[in-house]
Structures are given as structure tokens and as C-alpha cells.
Amino acid sequence: MVFALIDGNNFYVSCERVFDPKLEGRPVIVLSNNDGCAVARSNEAKALGIKMGEPVFKLRDLIERERVTVLSSNYTLYGDMARRVVETLERFSPEVEVYSIDESFLSLEPTPGERLVALAEDIRATVRRWTGIPTCVGLGPTKTLAKLGNTVAKKLPELGGVGDLTSPALRSLLLSRLPVSAVWGIGPASTRKLCARGITTVAGLRDLDVSRARSLLSVVGARIVLELRGTPCLPLELLPPPQQALAVTRSFGERVATLDGLKEAIAAFATVAAAKLRRKGLLAGELTVFIHTSAFSPGPRYGASLSAALPGMSADTFFLIHEAHRLLARLWRPGYRYAKAGVIFTDLIPANRAQSSLLPVEGKDALMAAIDRLNSRYGRNTVYLGAIGLGERPWHTRFAYRTRRYTTRPDELLTVS
């Protein structure tokens, strides 16, 4: 059995290009929430030196000079495109682990006589043809090596999009040339630790004594060393583990100084989070609320968070807004310009496993279901609670350059003439 990792190339940009071919061959970046940072870059944008996570205001001149196309995130579109990619992958293996929005692990069992690389090329070509999304495929005897193979495929275009690390000989050659920071799970802190001890290449990490890796980088490091040697330690996760936390947090479009303004924002975030809970069939038992000023701007700074067990498991918007507001009232201090806030639900359980309350609230579930149906049928925010406010919403996240939701909104379909 071989692990394959299929990963969408510059995924968000590729989704946009499917519906706007004029973007092909041009520098394109997609921005984070609130149009803050570049989170996806076409190869042309990478070639201009635009870094992952770079704040867009620092790029203004470059964008102007090089005529870079700048787009806001269109998560509705990317989520739907990702679903199509996964459906395509499921044709090639009964075992698919959806690892992130643009990455899936597959187990591959080539039939006798079938070349593994040819199979990988077939997967790429089919995904491209059926969804329009270009991908790269990494192959290896472990997930860590498949991931590394994918990195190699992206780095070396001459490989034709497939990085095969199943053969020990080729693997040894490549591992001695790749920096240790290229390994999945080795971040900046671990890279510093390793380099300080003279371990700078992937091969160096592979040859590190396992107990030494364990003491240096915890069990995570020990597992990585074994995986690099070809011993699988990470199985495919075919069914997603139960979710542990659900958060809605946002930077504000404009700073908010008043308690009323924060209450509206927190009510809006709690509304979205509660709807997500219901869609996933979950109830929350604990709530955290946080607010803070900007970490970048000068001026007085303040930030705080509070958690509390809810008096009962819930996914009820009325109740959750009320509880979030109680925490907010204890957090809020006057005299600050707040830049960000959020609500986080934890202690999640499936609604069908919950103990029923001794004091059922008549009709509340039916009311929530009715609201969800209306909003699903007529669009988000068709019906919402007055706590979100009816007037200006300075805290609203900016999406100034968002494209259409081509695949999920009949009124936003692409028109062809």
C-alpha cells in the first residue's frame, strides 16, 4: 500500500481562474478575511516576491506597478470546488482522508502491472478535467513522505506534477538536498532547535536517534523520524474525529470603541457560530468570549478573554447570544479602540447524544429550525435577531474584491455571451 497526497496548486487562485480565464498567466493574490493579508498567490505572484501572509498595504506599490490582480476570499466558492475535487478522488480509492480544504490523502493499491506514477498522473488529469483545478501528487510509504513528495513535485516542474518517494534510492538523494524545515510538522521553533545542533537537511533528521528526537521534539518528533525512514506511524483518518471546538472570530472592518458596538459584533458572531453548531448537529457546553485592541497600532492596549460553562448544552441562538453578552459585559473596559473579537464554543457533543433537559423550552428548537430554513432558502441574514443591530455595522469584515459565488447561487451564475 502506498500513500498519495493530492494538493490543489495555489488552490484559491486556481478556483478563481476556473471562472475567469483572463487570470491565467498573470500575478493574482487572494486576501485573508477583512482583506488583510495575501493568503494565496499564483506562481507569477510568488515570482514577484510576494510572501505568504504578507499584509496587503505593504504591497500597494508592487500591486500597482506589476498590475497584480487582488481578490477577496470567496469561501463559498472554494468550499464547493473542494467538494468536487474530493468527489473525483473518491473514484480512485475507497480510502480518502480529507486533510484540509485543498489536500487529501489516498491509499493506493496499483493493480499488478500498473505503474504507480501513471496512476498518479491519471488522478491529476482527471481532477483537472472534471473540476478545472490543477494539482500535484506526492507518493510515499508514509504520510510524511507522501507530503514531502508533494513538496518536491511543486518545487521541480520537470517532474510533471508527481513526486514519487516510494523508491529508497531516489528518496535518499532528495532527502539530503531538502532543508529540514520542509518536513510536515517541523515549524520554525523545531527548525531552530535542529539547526543549532547541526541538523539542517531532511536526511539529517531521518538519521537522528529516535530517543534523541523524542527528547528534543517530543513524541511528535520521534514519529516524524520513523515516518521519514518509511515506518508508518500516522494512519489514514477515514472518518473525521469528533470536533472539539468551533470558533467565529473576526477583525473589525473599523475599530469599535463602544460596548453597544461590541455587543452587536459578538451577537453576530454567536449567531453564525450557533448556526454552524446546528448544521453539524452539535451542542456546546462551554463558551469563551474575547476582545482585544490591535497588536500593531499605537495607543493603549487591552485584551482579555473569559470562559464559562453554559448552564446546559445548547445550540440556541437566543440563549448563546445572552450568555456571550454576559461574558462581554465583564470583559469590556472603556477607553479602548477594539480591533478584534470572537466567540469560541468547546465541550461539544452530538445533539442526539445529549441528555434532555428537565425543563424543556417549548418551541425553541422549532423556531431555530424555521430560522435556518428561511436563511438557507432566501440567503443568509434573511432572518436574524435584533441584537445584531439594524444600522451601521462598522465592525463588518471587509470583502471589497469578492468574486461571484458561481457554483452555489443561481443569481450569481456566470453569464456567457
Partner DNA sequence: TCTGGGGTCCTAGGACCC
Using CB under 7 A as the criterion, which residues of the chain lie in contact with DNA when the complex forms? 32-34, 36-37, 39, 53, 55, 57, 99-103, 147, 183-191, 218-220, 241, 243-251, 255, 276, 294, 296-297, 339-340, 342, 344, 397
What is the rounded CA–CA span in Å between residue 190 and residue 205? Answer: 11
Least Å distance between CB 298 and DNA?
Answer: 9
Least Å distance between CB 257 and DNA?
Answer: 12
Least Å distance between CB 57 and DNA?
Answer: 3
Instruction: Give the C-alpha distances (Å, rounded to integers) separating 256 from 238, 267, 342, 407.
Output: 43, 14, 13, 35
Sign of CA dihedral 282, 283, 288, 294: positive
Least Å distance between CB 413 and DNA?
Answer: 27
Q: Which residue lies nearer to DNA by CB, 123 or 146?
A: 146
Instruction: Specify the residue for cell string 505503474.
Output: 115
Q: Which residue lies nearer to DNA by CB, 234 or 371?
A: 234
Least Å distance between CB 139 and DNA?
Answer: 16
Q: Which residue lies nearer to DNA by CB, 27 or 221?
A: 221
Closest CA to 405 of 21, 8, 73, 23: 73
Instruction: Give the C-alpha distances (Å, rounded to integers) separating 366 from 70, 278, 313, 361, 363.
Output: 43, 12, 17, 10, 5
Chain centroid offset of residue 241 CA: 16
What is the rounded CA–CA span in Å between residue 376 and residue 340? Answer: 28
Closest CA to 178 of 208, 209, 199: 199
Instruction: Specify the residue for cell string 506534477.
Output: 161
Q: Which residue lies nearer to DNA by CB, 54 or 367?
A: 54
Q: Which residue lies nearer to DNA by CB, 173 or 245?
A: 245
Least Å distance between CB 146 and DNA?
Answer: 11
